């Protein structure tokens, strides 16, 4: 029974999607142009650099292990390329080649780039007395600025890099950036969240200010522990599902300062641009796409858009939870949107099962989409799964009133009569009509070709 039931639901959904596709093709062009089909970035890069066993400088115990923890956090965030450079692979020549050749060739204009560094660093003054920070490669001495990677070189790299967003994470106590004021960014209530991230951004987060000792908890870097917690979602203060570099910066500053008891002051600065790096892209349903629609026509249009996006998610088998949220949003905009009730009743029947919710949506589908045969058909399937076989038969028969040639309904009726209602003649009748309309399932063919059971003869009188 279960394989047959699953088959029927698949048949129904394919038929349903086909009808929706036809409707979609008739939508105004504007609907197809709204939003982006994929994520905000074409590709996401994380370059993780960890130097623990310096050739000419003191060792930094645990640096590589903690760098690997950060690398794993970016993999869990879905970064496409996570390049790890440890000890000898983080030589001065290799780092310069990475910044001047590898990344400029590989990173595109719609990519995001995060560079994490743990190792020694320093601060010097230029001829004008301005502080200039630098990072020490594996084969450099701590005071040898000429062989180090200076912040001026990093700034020049960020200017040349095509990446839309660049985020430097420096697990070291250093400063020396020319900074601009960080503008608080919120994606809630914007016309489109993606629009706010189109602006270029180069951002920097350091573990501490120059000269500070970096704190540890349980023998591990406090900065790394807080950073990884933030990247895992705890930095999403407004719980909108979007994790931004500015949120991670604020989270790390607050928690490191508190847990170090004021001994360590992480610095977060906006080096360039007015954008904000997205570290975790939230579900689109978490946002109001522009101002709330006011007129009845605007609300119907907004409902239709949410419905079409829910359908697209189900068609591509992506995030049924978001699809359900979108359907609920569509019905909030237009409580009389019958086709949205139809799709919701199917989702609650098969994809995210909740028979009570499915029944409620199914009844509203019949009320508001009386000329859609899928409304009654889905309601019939819901009744059948609830063991309400008479109601299931009635609903399926009503679907055939709307569409007398709905082949899948005849197949479902054949199964209902045979397995649940034990009515062999009606089952054969339904299966026969199913085959006449082009159906080909073996269960129907077997039922129709099987000879009828002989009627027992009445006992003769003595």
How many Cβ atoms from other residues are within 10 Å of residue 106's Cβ?
16
pLDDT along the chain (462 residues), means of 10: 44 50 39 40 93 96 96 92 97 96 89 96 81 93 91 89 92 75 40 56 93 93 96 82 89 96 94 87 49 80 86 76 90 94 94 94 96 95 96 96 94 94 94 92 90 54 50
Q: Which CATH number fits domain 2-34+292-404: 1.25.40.10, 3.10.580.10, 3.40.50.720, 1.10.357.10?
A: 1.25.40.10
- CA separation, residue 227 to residues 70, 153, 256, 263, 445 (Å): 8, 25, 9, 17, 63
How many Cβ atoms from other residues are within 10 Å of residue 451's Cβ?
5
Q: What angle do CA 204, 206, 212 make, to 5 degrees?
A: 155
User: How far apart are alpha carbons 306 and 302 in whole angstroms?
Assistant: 6
User: How far apart are alpha carbons 55 and 447 in whole angstroms?
Assistant: 81
Sheet strand arrangement including 131-135: 121-125, 131-135, 149-150
pTM: 0.55
Structural domain boundaries in the chain: 2-34+292-404, 44-284
Q: What is the pLDDT of residue 39?
A: 56
DSSP state of 120: -
Architecture of domain 44-284: 3-Layer(aba) Sandwich (3.40)
195: phi then psi, degrees, rounded to nearest 5? -60, -35
Q: What is the pLDDT of residue 65?
A: 96
Which helix H or strand E contains 123, and what residues bound it? strand 121-125
Q: What is the pLDDT of residue 287?
A: 42
Q: What is the pLDDT of residue 13?
A: 53
Q: What is the pLDDT of residue 316?
A: 67
Placement of tokens 């106590």 in the chain: 173
Which of 375, 414, 374, 372 lies closest to 393, judged by CA?
414
Which of 445, 393, 452, 401 lies closest to 419, judged by CA?
393
Q: What is the pLDDT of residue 384?
A: 95
3-state percent helix, strand, coil for the chain, nearest multiple of 5:
50, 15, 35
Q: What is the pLDDT of residue 455?
A: 47
How many Cβ atoms from other residues are within 10 Å of residue 200's Cβ?
16
Matching fold, domains 2-34+292-404 and 44-284: no
Q: What is the pLDDT of residue 16?
A: 54
């Amino acid at each position: 029974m279960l394989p047959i039931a699953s088959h029927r639901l698949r048949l129904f959904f394919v038929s349903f999607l086909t009808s929706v596709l036809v409707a979609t093709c008739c939508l105004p062009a504007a609907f197809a142009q709204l939003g982006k089909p994929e994520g905000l970035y074409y590709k996401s890069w994380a370059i993780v650099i960890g130097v623990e066993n310096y050739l000419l400088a003191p060792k930094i115990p645990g640096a590589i292990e903690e760098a690997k923890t950060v690398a794993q956090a970016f993999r869990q965030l879905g970064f496409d390329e996570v390049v790890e450079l440890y000890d000898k692979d983080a030589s001065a020549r290799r780092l310069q080649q990475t910044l001047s050749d590898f990344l400029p060739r590989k990173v595109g204009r719609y990519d995001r780039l995060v560079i994490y560094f743990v190792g020694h660093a320093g601060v010097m003054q230029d001829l004008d007395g301005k502080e200039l920070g630098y990072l020490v490669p594996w084969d450099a001495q701590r005071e040898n600025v000429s062989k180090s990677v200076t912040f001026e070189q990093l700034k020049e790299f960020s200017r040349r890099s095509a990446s839309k967003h660049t985020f430097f994470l420096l697990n070291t106590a250093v400063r020396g950036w020319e900074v601009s004021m960080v503008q608080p960014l919120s994606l809630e209530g914007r016309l489109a969240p993606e629009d706010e991230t189109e602006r270029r951004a180069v951002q920097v987060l350091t573990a501490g200010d120059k000269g500070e000792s970096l704190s540890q908890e349980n023998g591990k870097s406090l900065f790394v522990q807080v950073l990884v917690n933030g990247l895992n979602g705890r930095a999403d203060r407004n719980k909108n599902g979007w994790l931004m570099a500015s949120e991670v910066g604020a989270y790390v500053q607050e928690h490191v300062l508190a847990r170090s008891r004021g001994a360590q002051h992480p610095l977060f600065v906006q080096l360039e641009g007015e954008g904000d790096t997205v570290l975790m892209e939230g579900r689109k349903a978490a946002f109001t796409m522009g101002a709330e629609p006011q007129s009845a026509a605007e609300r119907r249009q907004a409902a239709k858009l949410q419905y079409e996006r829910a359908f697209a998610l189900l068609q591509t088998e992506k995030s049924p939870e978001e699809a359900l949220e979108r359907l609920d949003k569509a019905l909030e905009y237009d409580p009389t949107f019958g086709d949205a009730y139809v799709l919701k009743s199917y989702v609650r029947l098969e994809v995210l099962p909740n028979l009570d919710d499915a029944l409620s949506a199914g009844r509203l589908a019949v009320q508001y989409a009386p000329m859609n045969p899928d409304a009654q058909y889905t309601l019939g399937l819901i009744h059948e799964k609830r063991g309400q076989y008479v109601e299931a038969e009635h609903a399926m028969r009503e679907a055939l009133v709307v569409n007398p040639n709905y082949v899948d309904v005849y197949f479902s009726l054949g199964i209902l009569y045979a397995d649940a209602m034990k009515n062999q003649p009606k089952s054969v009748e339904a299966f026969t009509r199913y085959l006449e309309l082009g159906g080909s399932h073996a269960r129907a063919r077997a039922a129709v070709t099987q000879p009828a059971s002989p009627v027992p003869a009445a006992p003769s009188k003595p």
